[in-house]
Chain A
């Protein structure tokens, strides 16, 4: 989805704020939430794409004003409620209003099952263009590279397609690649010199040039 989480290239967020001597967890609740999430995802059989999509489905205002572990908290609670393992009422009774993510806008049946590919079609050095697709559900193809041309620099593992894991809980394989984009291809006259960007992309996102 073209969501608020897809931040690459957006402007207006200001400087990177670095906290000196930052602890791994800011408060006990972050550590507990990290562990609770791991346990609950395993217990519910939720895969990583499902979890990521539950974060992406957060209200955009909530997403931008909450911390990483609040994203985790919200997403895990959402998945558990959607699966019927806990109820929204049970959460609200203990915590006041417990903000959850929005429902998915893509139904499983809307996502076509495709046959997998277990061997790469592209090789290092091949020129490729990223398909300009705008899927409303979970995808790992960032907006800022769609429609752009790059070069394969690394053939990466053959792994399950995130769209099908997220929406159909199906593991269908696709090769992945490291793709180099010249900065000017991405940012035109605003590009910095001598600063290519590499993005890891599934073969299904790419077409030969």
Chain B
């Protein structure tokens, strides 16, 4: 991609050409500034991502009172840890238990709790996931390597209005001595979407 080492730059793909055209047109006309674009790119590349949600989950695992606040008002409890912003005005945490497994989808577009999970992965935005998760969740989860026993209820949450969902996974067994930071390191994005246990 770089010509710093004497390589010829790759020719732009069609969509790259369109993206560049729009950006150049808008910056030349003063509709959007290059500084704004750079700031947003940097923020979402570095500051927003599933590490935020992992901190929320780990706190809920070590602090029962925090967990109660999280389940009662997810947005406020998440704000206690300093997270909020676009797509985060109404976050609801849904708790996995021995009898219940939660999984999140957006069939109409790709709604996702950005402040705690960052931007969604491609599979979450893809027609196979969006079409199938509401119709055959157990089969899709099994295909994705997440086997949910038949006697565990799968609750699918289609985020079609303003609520954005965060799955609170079960605390892993055998981690009694782990610190909150160590626990946060074990929490995956996929577990917080509900496609992993």
Contacts and interface: CB of A to CB of B under 8 A. Distances in A.
Interface of A: 5-11, 13-19, 22, 24-29, 31-36, 38-40, 43-44, 52, 55, 64, 66-68, 70, 73, 76-77, 80, 85-86, 90-91, 94-96, 98-99, 140-142, 144, 154, 156-157, 159, 176, 178, 186-187, 190, 192-202
A195 B107 contact: no
Contact of A96 (B17, B125, B140): B17
Contact of A197 (B20, B33, B156, B163): B156
Interface string B49-64: 1000000000000000
A127 to B, nearest CB: 18
Interface string B114-141: 0000111111011111111011111110
Contacts, number: 231
A32 B17 contact: no
Most chain A CB within 10 A, of B119, B139, B155, B158, is at B158
B160 A199 contact: yes
Contact of A159 (B25, B139, B161): B161
A201 to B, nearest CB: 7
Contacts of B92: 154, 178
Contacts of A195: 137-138, 153-156
B40 A194 contact: no
B23 interface: yes
B11 to A, nearest CB: 13
A39 B31 contact: yes
Given A24-B44, A192-B139, A193-B150, A6 B126 contact: no
Given A36-B22, A68-B125, A178-B163, A144 B107 contact: yes
Contacts of A44: 31
A66 B16 CA distance: 12
Interface of B: 1, 14-26, 29, 31-33, 36-41, 44-45, 49, 89-90, 92, 107-110, 118-123, 125-132, 134-140, 143-144, 150-163
B26 A36 contact: yes
Nearest to A195: B154
B41 A197 contact: no
11 contacts: A8-B130, A13-B131, A14-B128, A17-B122, A29-B15, A39-B36, A86-B29, A99-B18, A142-B108, A198-B155, A199-B158
B75 to A, nearest CB: 10
Contact of A73 (B22, B37, B143): B22
Nearest to A72: B19
B163 A68 contact: no
A190 B140 CA distance: 14
Contact of A91 (B25, B41, B155): B25
A137 B24 CA distance: 31
B134 A35 contact: no
A185 B86 CA distance: 34
B108 A5 contact: yes
Given A142-B158, A200-B160, A34 B44 contact: yes
Contact of B135 (A15, A73, A156, A187): A187
Which of A11, A44, A90, A199 is the most central at the interface, judged by chain B CB atoms within 10 Å of its CB?
A: A199
Contacts of A85: 29, 31
Contacts of A52: 108-109
